[in-house]
Amino acid sequence: MALQVSNQMKTLIHVNQHVVKSNAKTGANDPVLTVKTYKSNVYAHEVEIHGPSRVVYQPESPLSCGAKVWIETYAEVTINQTKEESNEDKDTGGDV
């Protein structure tokens, strides 16, 4: 299923290393990409960015989930998703 995120808001995209490692260990195929906006997190296998973006590496100031490398964009994003979580539903006690 594809989801479109049209933006005037910043979208952050990062790879969840914990899910990559878990998939390798268990043989699962859970989505490893996290697409964050101010109102939701969407977990995906594939993301297409339709415009300018930049890759950021900030080990001294990671995202709240711990990611030190991510992509930032204000462009429209197409997400092939499997799970969505709103910030109201988000568990604040761990990695995304």
Among 11, 10, 13, 16, which Cα is nearest to 66's? 16
Domain count, the chain: 1
* Residue 29 domain flag: yes
Give the model's pLDDT for residue 22. 97
* Residue 67 domain flag: yes
* Residue 91 domain flag: no
Tell me the whole-structure pTM to 2 decimals. Answer: 0.80
Domain boundaries, position 79: 2-86
Cα–Cα distances in Å, from 48 out to 1, 11, 26, 76, 93?
13, 12, 27, 9, 29
Give the model's pLDDT for residue 8. 76
* Residue 40 domain flag: yes
Digit-by-digit pLDDT tens for the chain (96 residues) are 677 776 678 999 999 999 999 999 999 999 999 999 988 899 999 999 999 999 999 999 999 999 999 999 999 999 986 676 655 544 433 343
Give the model's pLDDT for residue 57. 98
